[in-house]
């Protein structure tokens, strides 16, 4: 909305967890937004979310039971209290110039549905997995809302892009004439020292900015980079030390574990500019579940962790 101010973006956060999307929104320069509600079934996650964002309405619910009428009510009752002091003046490369014609409050739905039905090490039951039921239910009730959201942002694991669940969701976007951009992006190419390839979907009622639209027109596949943003080599990422606690007490691996499994561990140091993707097997499985941090300055050879009786 270049050249004019706009009401704050009203956001609904589904599968909100501890507030990852909320903190991401807060780091977008010059974005004025208001999280109308955060929906999450986990009481533990909700306790942390409330501690992080005490002014946000948290709805502890099974999304399979959410109705369009209830969602409409929550959206209509949500005030326009902004989470940033300044009004939005630009949405960058994703914005079409014709958005200057409206000053109404726009709505965005963000979500990261359960990934277990699509993971490489999972059962890959896809839309037959009970954990896919909630996201399919959401896209079944969205058409019954008093007005459709202006924007969607959906994230999931690699594998979601070839799923039946995605195909069903795309039917909603096609039926309601959304403009859609899909990405497979790795965080280690965006200046984050962690390898985490993920699927991202952006959808909006109006056309994208012409720069992005031209890329989408020429490319029918999933984009592996963000137009206008150069992918970075792993060496260009900041070191892990910038993300670590000052004194990570209580996380030391037992000597017995190191002696038995040291030869398969992915070992990184505070100066490393990379680490492996963390999975739910972290701290349970030694191999393929994430990196371990070496703090001992005099231990430079991971082979020293290999036990003779491995």
Positions of E strands within the chain: 9-14, 33-40, 58-60, 107-111, 151-157, 179-186, 197-204, 266-268, 291-293
> Tokens 């002091």, residue?
85
Specify the DSSP class assigned to residue 41.
Answer: S
Q: Check if 115 is active-site.
A: yes
Using CB atoms within 10 Å of the CB of residue 223, give its burial: 0 to 12 exposed, 13 to 18 middle, 19+ buried.
Answer: middle
Rounded to whole angstroms, the Cα distance separating 138 from 151 reads 15
Tell me which long-range contacts 257-262 makes (C-beta under 8 A, separation of at least 24): 257/286, 258/305, 259/305, 259/307, 260/307, 260/310, 261/286, 261/287, 262/302, 262/304, 262/305, 262/306, 262/307
Kindly compute the dihedral angle of the four CA atoms of residues 212, 218, 221, 222, in this order, to the nearest 10 degrees.
-20
**Distance from CA of residue 247 to its chain's centroid?**
28
Of the candidates 241, 213, 248, 207, which has an alpha carbon nearest to the alpha carbon of residue 227? 213
Neighbours of 115 (CB within 10 A): 19
Specify the DSSP class assigned to residue 106.
Answer: P
Q: What b/e readout covers 237-253, taking b as 16+ CB neighbours within 10 angstroms? A: beebeeeeeeeeeeeeb
Strands 151-157 and 197-204: antiparallel
Q: Which one of the listed residues 12, 64, 115, 277 is annotated catalytic?
A: 115
Specify the DSSP class assigned to residue 97.
Answer: G
Just list the catalytic residues.
Answer: 115
């Amino acid at each position: 909305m270049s050249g004019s101010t706009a009401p704050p973006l009203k956001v609904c956060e589904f599968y909100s967890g501890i507030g990852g999307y909320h903190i991401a929104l807060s780091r977008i320069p010059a974005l004025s937004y208001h999280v109308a509600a955060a929906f999450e079934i986990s009481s533990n996650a909700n306790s942390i979310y409330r501690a992080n964002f005490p002014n946000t309405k948290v709805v502890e619910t099974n999304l399979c039971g959410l109705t369009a009428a209830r969602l409409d009510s929550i959206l209509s009752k949500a005030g326009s209290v902004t989470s940033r002091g300044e009004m939005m003046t630009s949405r960058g490369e994703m914005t079409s110039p014709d958005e200057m014609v409206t000053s109404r409050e726009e709505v965005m739905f963000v979500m990261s549905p359960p990934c277990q039905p699509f993971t490489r090490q999972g059962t890959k039951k896809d839309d037959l997995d009970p954990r896919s039921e909630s996201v399919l239910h959401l896209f079944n009730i969205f058409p019954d809302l008093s007005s459709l959201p202006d924007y969607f942002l959906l994230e999931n694991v690699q594998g979601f892009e070839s799923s039946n669940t995605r195909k069903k969701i795309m039917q909603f976007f096609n039926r309601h004439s959304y403009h859609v951009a899909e990405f497979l992006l790795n965080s280690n190419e965006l200046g984050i020292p962690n390898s985490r390839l993920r699927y991202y979907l952006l959808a909006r009622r109006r056309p994208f900015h012409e720069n992005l639209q031209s890329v989408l027109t020429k490319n029918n596949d999933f984009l592996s980079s963000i137009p206008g943003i150069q992918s970075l080599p792993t060496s260009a990422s900041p070191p892990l030390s910038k993300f670590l606690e000052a004194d990570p007490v209580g996380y030391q691996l037992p000597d017995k574990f190191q002696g038995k499994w040291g030869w398969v561990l992915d070992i990184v140091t505070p100066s490393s500019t990379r680490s492996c993707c963390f999975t739910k097997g972290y701290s349970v499985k030694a191999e393929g579940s994430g990196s371990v941090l070496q703090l001992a300055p005099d231990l430079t050879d991971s082979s020293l962790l290999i036990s003779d009786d491995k």
